Structure 1
Amino acid sequence: MSAPVLAKPQLRGLLSKRLRFHITAAFVLSLGCATMYKFGVAEPRKRAYQNFYKRYDAVKDFEEMYQAGVFQYGK
């Protein structure tokens, strides 16, 4: 009875083969994360700022703070 012969492992080009796969995967994942951030965080934040400044009146806000005594001045 003889022992089964194991196939030799691939050693030549193994690093480049694995790097090609991992660099491609990293690029795709980073592109996906950037897209998710843009549409999940940046765009809603941009819309929220636009909506706020559409209705914001700086003079009215100043008058309210002035009436509330927020601003202090020395003699």
Structure 2
Amino acid sequence: MASGTLAKSQLWGLLAKRLWIHIVGAFIVSLGVSALCKFGVAEPRKKAYADFYRNYDSMKGFEEMRKAGIFQSAK
């Protein structure tokens, strides 16, 4: 019968190692989602607003709304 020291368990430090992997993964996923929102939603929306207001005539819009009866005080 051989006597010796027991080897350390493989579970030693496993929680810290797994948490670190999950934190790094969550950070990478959040960066990807934020980039997708910026370039997939925000930039096209800003471009659409800029295109709309580039040729928008506020007085013409006001006259159309006044003729449609939206404003009760303006005749």
TM-score (normalizing by structure 2): 0.80
Question: How much does 1:22 deviate?
Answer: 0.5
Unmatched 5+ stretches in structure 1: 1-7
* Secondary structure, aligned partner of 1:41: helix
Q: 2-side partners of 1:69 and 1:24: how far apart?
A: 58
Structure with higher RCO (Cα < 8 A, 6+ apart): 2
Paired-residue identity, % = 61
Where do residues 15-54 of structure 1 align in structure 2 (5 Å cutoff)? 15-54=15-54
Where has structure 1 moved over 3 Å in runs of 4 or more? none
Unmatched 5+ stretches in structure 2: 1-7
How many residues of Structure 1 are paired with residues of Structure 2 in the alignment?
A: 67
TM-score (normalizing by structure 1): 0.80
Q: Tell me how large the CA RMSD over aligned residues is.
A: 1.7
